[in-house]
Structure 1
Amino acid sequence: MREHVIVSSTTDSEPTARELAAQAVEARLGACAQIVGPILSVYRWNGEVQADPEWRLEIKTAADRVAPLVELLKAQHNYEVPEIIATPIEGGSSEFLEWLVNETRAG
């Protein structure tokens, strides 16, 4: 995995997404997070196709913080099977990426 990662998830409300984002940043498991929504998610659950509004949470982090961030999201999430996906960041502003790593370290 690359050195810098975006961990994304979805949830059913903006307040829940805000809480998950705040917990991740407070714990220094993510440098920052963006919340996008509402979006419409279409998926199959319990054998039926569903369509529901959701809010997407995107957390920028260092690769070595992904595993504990995933554990935090799984523990705090309100879904039975939450979407949690890690996508490597291929490049970008070196200053931002340095800040990202620094913010995921103990102060």
Structure 2
Amino acid sequence: MADTLLVLTNLPDRDSADAMAAALIEARLAACVNVLAPCTSVYRWQGAVESATEVPLLIKTTAGRYHALEAAIRARHPYELPEIVAVPVVLGLPGYLDWVAREVTTDA
């Protein structure tokens, strides 16, 4: 289970979020990507407080695929500095976590 990661990122709109999700699944970098409802993000950027509507993605992958996943997100992401945060999954339904691992193998 320690190998499973939940990776979070945000995109500026639904079209770019859907395209990112499809690309990550097609490349077997993610087993599942949840494209969530738009939210408002408030943050400080270059000394100013900003507010933006964004579409969050919840990406399920493994630690072994993380670096390739990060590179793919960075290559497709429109932001200068995208949020890419990985959280280890410490517990979960074993069958689901096994499925995640199988889906992101490069030899499948």
TM-score range, shorter chain: over 0.9
The AA in structure 2 aligned to 1:68 is A
1:6 partner SS: strand
| More strand per residue | 1
Q: Which residue of 2 aligns with 1:19?
A: 19
Identity of aligned residues (%): 37
Q: Paired residue for 1:45?
A: 45
Matches for 1:1-107 after TM superposition, within 5 Å: 2-105=2-105, 106-107=107-108
CA RMSD for the aligned pairs?
0.8
What is the TM-score when the length of structure 2 is the normalising length?
0.94
Q: Which of structure 1's runs of 4+ aligned residues deviate more than 4 A?
A: none
- CA drift of 1:42 comes to 0.1
2-structure distance, mates of 1:3, 1:44: 33
Aligned equivalents of 2:33, 2:101: Cα separation in 1: 14
1:46 is displaced (CA, Å) by: 2.1
Instruction: Name structure 1 gaps, 5 residues minimum.
Output: none
| Structure 1 position 62, deviation (Å) | 1.2
